[in-house]
Amino acid sequence: MSIINFAVIGYGGMGSYHAHNLIPAESTRVHVAGTYDISGERQQISQGKGLRIYESLEEVLNDGNIEAILIATPNDSHKEIAIKALRAGKHVVCEKPVAMNTRELDEILAVAEATGNVFMVHQNRRWDPDFLIIRQLYQKKTIGDIFQIESRVQGANGIPGDWRHLQKHGGGMLLDWGVHLLDQLLWLVDSPIKSVQADLSYILGDEVDDGFMSYITFENGVRALVEVGTTNYTKLPRWYVKGLEGTAKINDWDLSGEIIAATGREDVPAPAPIQAGVGLTKTMAPPSEEATERIAFPEPKADFVPFYQNFYEVVREGAEPIVKNHEVRKVMNVIEDIFRASDKG
Ligand code: NAD
């Protein structure tokens, strides 16, 4: 079956990553036929790398050689570009966050439905090795039933770039990183949400959030703390996950960390009191050596195909998308809940 020709719309940081890394990595299925960016400077850079330059979005959409577009423009422009492309008969891959809110997403989905063209959101962090490890622990119950998940990313560099500082472009860290962490969490925990508490931070004085903390509970009993920070000069682990029979900690994307699991042995000595600060404690003493063991992380393998392979199979073979639009919509709903919860205090 023939290769799908893509045009990349928005040849900035992420658009160029798609153009030179992600799409070429699936070169038997997808191909970058050209790019379009409103910035003359970015157009020149793309041309300098040997890519064909389109002078306008309309030129892309009128090109019968282009079967799909990748949208990697600021968040407030996704909707308009997606709808125009779908109406022009193109399939669409859209960067996250899919749109500014659920209402915009619904407008896109209505056009996708009416035209029959594929619309898929690039929730790429479902393929992150650290997440794949947590997913296996959760599904295989390696540390027993997981009941508490802490998922955080923390940096010390503030909000990056220009448009991410502005509300009108859909800036802020909840829409930027929050959408990744929430997509992972909601994909992992297959249970309705019971409650959402949240607090957005505005430490840096921007009109958009520079981070947030949210506490989400699910009807199956799982509780999750999701946190994004951009003013953290030293950081907490990327994942801290508690199961009934063990605890897992992944420090960072380098996959350092540990899993400590209960051995289940009954013939273990009771923990002895330890000196703790100016007091004594047995409660907080480390478990005896016989009571716990260190387990190796599972291989961070995905039991699903890479993003662009899946997109190709969805378009050519009618396969099921890995990133489903109703899941994307659910995440957008929770983002709106978090904004509301934070506003309400
Ligand atoms: P960026 O500022 O580096 O690039 C955006 C580009 O779009 C710029 O070159 C700009 O000139 C161009 N542009 C703006 N409006 C346009 C329009 N109407 N038509 C054509 N070009 C236009 O931003 P970025 O970091 O690449 O982010 C772009 C999108 O990708 C955002 O939605 C962002 O959330 C997403 N993103 C996703 C990931 C991920 O891991 N999935 C990572 C980074 C960014």
| Model pLDDT for residues 90-118, shown as the tens digit of each residue | 999 999 999 999 999 999 999 999 999 99
Instruction: Examine residue 341 and state whether it is found in any structural domain, yes or no.
Output: no
Domain residue limits at 106: 4-122+305-319
* CB distance 217 to 195 below 8 Å: yes
Instruction: Examine residue 164 and state whether it is found in any structural domain, yes or no.
Output: yes
Residue 289's pLDDT is what? Answer: 84
If asked whether residues 92 and 161 sit together in one domain, one would say no
Give the tokens for residue 259: 């899993």
| Model pLDDT for residues 283-336, shown as the tens digit of each residue | 999 888 899 999 999 999 999 999 999 999 999 999 999 999 999 999 999 999
Instruction: Examine residue 342 and state whether it is found in any structural domain, yes or no.
Output: no
Residue 93's pLDDT is what? Answer: 99
Cα 282 to averaged position of ligand 1 atoms, centre (Å)? 53
Cα 337 to averaged position of ligand 1 atoms, centre (Å)? 25
If asked whether residues 130 and 278 sit together in one domain, one would say yes
Within the chain, which residues score under 50 in pLDDT? none
* CB distance 52 to 4 below 8 Å: no
Q: Work out the number of other CB atoms within 10 angstroms of the CB of residue 28.
A: 8
If asked whether residues 192 and 138 sit together in one domain, one would say yes
Q: How far apart are CA 20 and CA 193, in angstroms?
A: 38
Q: How far apart are CA 237 and CA 214, in angstroms?
A: 16
Cα 303 to averaged position of ligand 1 atoms, centre (Å)? 29
If asked whether residues 66 and 114 sit together in one domain, one would say yes
Task: Single out the residue of 216, 209, 198, 229 nearest to residue 330, CA to CA.
Answer: 216
Residue 178 Cβ inside 6 Å of ligand 1? The answer reads no
* CB distance 135 to 241 below 8 Å: no
Q: How many CA atoms lie within 13 A of 34 on its CB side?
A: 16
Q: Work out the number of other CB atoms within 10 angstroms of the CB of residue 78.
A: 27
If asked whether residues 97 and 57 sit together in one domain, one would say yes
Q: Which residue has the tokens 């990553």?
A: 17
Instruction: Examine residue 331 and state whether it is found in any structural domain, yes or no.
Output: no
| Sequential DSSP letters for 140-194 | HTBTBSEEEEEEEEE-SS-S-SSGGG-GGGT-SHIIIIIHHHHHHHHHHS-S-EE
If asked whether residues 58 and 206 sit together in one domain, one would say no
Residue 10 Cβ inside 6 Å of ligand 1? The answer reads yes
Residue 271's pLDDT is what? Answer: 85
Instruction: Examine residue 339 and state whether it is found in any structural domain, yes or no.
Output: no
Here the CATH number for the domain that contains residue 85 is: 3.40.50.720
Start-to-end C-alpha separation, the chain: 54
If asked whether residues 100 and 140 sit together in one domain, one would say no
Percent of residues in the chain assigned helix, strand, coil, to nearest 5: 35, 25, 40
Here the CATH number for the domain that contains residue 218 is: 3.30.360.10
If asked whether residues 104 and 138 sit together in one domain, one would say no
Residue 79 Cβ inside 6 Å of ligand 1? The answer reads no
Residue 287's pLDDT is what? Answer: 85
| Sequential DSSP letters for 179-241 | HHHHHHHHHHS-S-EEEEEEEEE-TT--SS-SEEEEEEEETTS-EEEEEEESS-SS---SEEE
Instruction: Examine residue 201 and state whether it is found in any structural domain, yes or no.
Output: yes
* CB distance 151 to 300 below 8 Å: no
Residue 345's pLDDT is what? Answer: 86
If asked whether residues 91 and 162 sit together in one domain, one would say no
Cα 57 to averaged position of ligand 1 atoms, centre (Å)? 15
Q: How far is CA 149 from CA 174, 236, 253, in A?
A: 18, 13, 17
Contacts of 50 (CB under 8 A, 6+ apart): none
Instruction: Examine residue 209 and state whether it is found in any structural domain, yes or no.
Output: yes
Residue 73 Cβ inside 6 Å of ligand 1? The answer reads yes
If asked whether residues 61 and 137 sit together in one domain, one would say no
Instruction: Examine residue 256 and state whether it is found in any structural domain, yes or no.
Output: yes
Residue 230's pLDDT is what? Answer: 98
- The count of structural domains within the chain is 2
If asked whether residues 88 and 163 sit together in one domain, one would say no
If asked whether residues 105 and 179 sit together in one domain, one would say no
Residue 76's pLDDT is what? Answer: 98
Residue 269's pLDDT is what? Answer: 87
Q: Work out the number of other CB atoms within 10 angstroms of the CB of residue 44.
A: 12
